[in-house]
Structure 1
């Protein structure tokens, strides 16, 4: 098919490259912590490895390095999280050395600071350069738009949702001919209720000291103000119930001040017996199994937002804010209830409505929500489309075989 925003041809139903051998790819990002950008890099690496392609990811490291190496990709540890312009310049040569040492044929940047080094290195080595534009990126001072613009400067610019594609076109219309929308996806086999054992569910419940017999609200997401943890706590206070349990799941990533503010808010509302902050969870599929409602109350628009997609795949009702990528991935009024961002009473009422769903409604929602996700929002779809972009660029770069 021809993508909505560009003349680049992709075949989303293909199981592998359609334009020849997939190139040896280097993905570049600041670190491999547990965020969506990082998870996507690992997923694409896994898809490349499955195609028999030697695959590399360069970053400063993090907990997902283990996952990356487990699937057979190689990690190159480089100081790519820096925003210091002198260090960014130094990283150009580091990346050029890595490109030459490992026979890299295409460079794919997933974040702004390392993208500046990566583009210069790719250009110097004569390689195609791909970017994934994965956020709205703030523009709080005049030079910020130019800084952000590196993500619209690839030979192909991948937007991870139509919301982001529209955002890119509004700010960088010159990218129109290079822009392609490839939605992020989840591992539909990993997030499958039928594959989650009772033992795994019990292990998470014990680790969180989950009370028996009360409805559970789950909010996954790294601890940062715009994700809306505080908004959720205010809504739970407005809801006024004490016969529920809410688990806020995610890493603070060093944001200790915000963590303290959140704990203070919980105490202020006297919700210590209701709301618990449990940190990072490595078995989110089991965690979703414990949830009666999954909340995604982001205050700023999510570029994509994997939480509602994962929750739907697990057959759980979702309450989310009505903006950004969430509008694309849920079916409002059927698989999810959407509320205006910052509307405390609206969020409280939506949570109440989701908690009040009877058994029959939940049983009918689960397969419908899962089928909705399986139709579009899968890793297989994302990886196949991404590999095809790689192959299209390489086909343009190399002359056809004699």
Structure 2
């Protein structure tokens, strides 16, 4: 830990109840900082996924919630925490909490750090805050940084800190691969293309379904594996119904063993993702990636080294990419073998040190 960060106390605020990428980022970095010796406090939703993940770790959990940026209960909970803890810095991840954090952290005399995760059009008030208020603004990818600059945020204001990953949570699981594939009726020779995450059109799930069907028509060993759910789940389930080569599993917890069941992880988004965390997790498990050349996805793997970069929305290209990996064992073995080394560059312990260096330079 940088010497001038020893003994630092952080208050990280994130009262969203969900369990998506922003929440996972907060959980991972809070844990990594606590394990590095930082005194980390988290103000979280009492019934949310963040609280469930942090209770019992080295992070000290406090409860509150912001239904919106003017929620009086949330404001009171935040002010109580600030007064009681007197942190050396306050950190926030969710845009609905930006303004409460800005106003109350300033009233308490605490430096403010805000993470930006979503590629959404900034409201004028939020744009002004991020461009003018005394704070540190961190984007989770170079793509998102460029998007923020395009909306008028000064370049000097936006830093990049990559998504952290606890490598110890991700490894090749040969037993899980054998067991799950047997349960699904898959043979060792079958080539399984997996998708994990939100099932909505912007993620390219229907493009991928068509591509797997088309590839299966050429090579019957090609199979699809679907993990997740979401807004377009009924439509996707109807689209996949009756195709015995499309294996629909829904949400799985934990998802980690399923990366070893796959022969390739696909992220075929047709709308920009700011990053591709599932790609990073799959590589850590030694699974090659098929990723769309869209948004921050190309930053989440090494095209040509740990996976293949494919044009978004081009069903023929995705079919051909699947067929190429299925027919070239040496290629996919090489891509898979390089994955853990790439993922190691996103180790949570390493990212935590980068974050502490950012604090030290403030």
TM value normalised by structure 1: 0.81
Shift of 1:136: 1.0
Shift of 1:289: 0.9
Q: Deviations over 1:38-78 (max 9, x none)?
A: 11111111122113333222232423423212322123232
Aligned residues of 2:293 and 2:311 also touching (Cα < 8 A):
yes
- Mapped to 1, the partners of 2:129 and 2:228 lie a distance apart of 29
Match of 2:235 among 256, 261, 267: 261
Report the equivalent of 1:387: 356
Aligned 8 A contact 2:184 2:247 in 1: no
**Partner residue, 2:52:** 66
Please state how far the C-alpha of 1:201 moved relative to its aligned partner.
4.2
Matched with 1:158 is: 138
Structure 1 match to 2:18: 33
Please name the residue that 1:328 is paired with. 299
Q: Structure 1 residues 58, 215: CA separation in 2 closer, same or farther (over 3 Å shift)?
A: same
* Aligned position for 2:82: 99
8 A Cα contact 1:319 1:354, kept in partner: no
Matched residue SS, 1:361: helix
Match of 2:93 among 110, 113, 116: 110
Q: Deviations over 1:328-351 (max 9, x none)?
A: 232223322112211111111111
Match 2:206 to one of 230, 234, 253: 230
Deviations along 1:79-120, whole A, 9 cap, x unmatched?
Answer: 22x23x542x55333211121123333211101002222212
**CA RMSD between the two structures:** 2.5
Shift of residue 221, structure 1, vs aligned partner: 1.4
Structure-2 change in CA distance of 1:121 and 1:277 (3 Å): farther
Change (3 A) 1:202 1:67: farther
Quote the Cα distance in structure 2 between the aligned partners of 1:173 and 1:98.
30
Pick one of 62, 70, 81 that aligns with 1:76. 62
- Deviation of 1:230 (Å): 2.2
After TM superposition, give the deviation of residue 204 of structure 1 in Å.
Answer: 4.9
Indicate the residue corresponding to 2:338 in structure 1: 368
1:264-299 per-residue CA deviation (whole Å, 9 max, x = no partner) reads: 2223xx43x222332332333321111111101112
SS in 1 for 2:318: helix
Gaps (5+ residues) in structure 1? 1-15, 394-402
Superposed CA deviations along residues 289-343 of structure 1, whole A, max 9, x for unmatched, are 1111110111212212112222222222211100222222322233221122111
Contact 1:149 1:172 in 2 (8 A): no
1:122 aligned partner: 105
Residue of 199, 206, 211 corresponding to 2:186: 211
The one-character-per-residue Cα deviations of 1:167-199 (angstroms, maximum 9, x if unpaired) are 11221333x333211111322222222xx362x
- Report which of the two has the higher share of strand: 2
| Contact residue 212 and residue 222 of structure 2 kept, 8 A | no
* Aligned counterparts of 1:352 and 1:165: Cα–Cα separation in 2: 35
Q: Distance in 1 between matches of 2:115 and 2:358?
A: 12
In structure 2, relative to structure 1, the CA distance for the partners of 1:354 and 1:32 (3 Å cut) is farther
Tell me which moved more, 297-306 or 258-267. Answer: 258-267
1:32, distance to aligned residue in structure 2 (A):
4.9
Is residue 138 of structure 2 the alignment partner of residue 171 of structure 1? no
CA contact (8 A) 1:112 1:148 kept: no
1:49 aligns with 2:34: yes
Secondary structure of 1:76's counterpart equals: strand
Q: Are the structure 2 counterparts of residues 69 and 205 from structure 1 closer, same or farther at C-alpha, using a change threshold of 3 Å?
A: farther
Q: Secondary structure at the match of 1:250?
A: strand
Deviates more, 1:28-37 or 1:43-52: 28-37
Task: Tell me, in whole angstroms, the C-alpha distance in 2 between the residues paired with 1:333 and 1:37.
Answer: 28
Q: Is 1:183 equivalent to 2:194 in the alignment? A: no
Equivalent residue pairs, number: 357
Q: Which structure 2 residues correspond to residues 232-251 of structure 1 after superposition, within 5 A?
A: 232-241=208-217, 242-251=220-229
CA contact 2:263–2:288 (8 Å) conserved in 1: yes
Give the alignment partner of residue 324 of structure 2, picking from 353, 356, 359: 353
- Between 296-305 and 145-154, the greater mean CA deviation after superposition: 145-154
Q: Measure the CA separation in 2 of the matches of 1:138 and 1:295.
A: 27
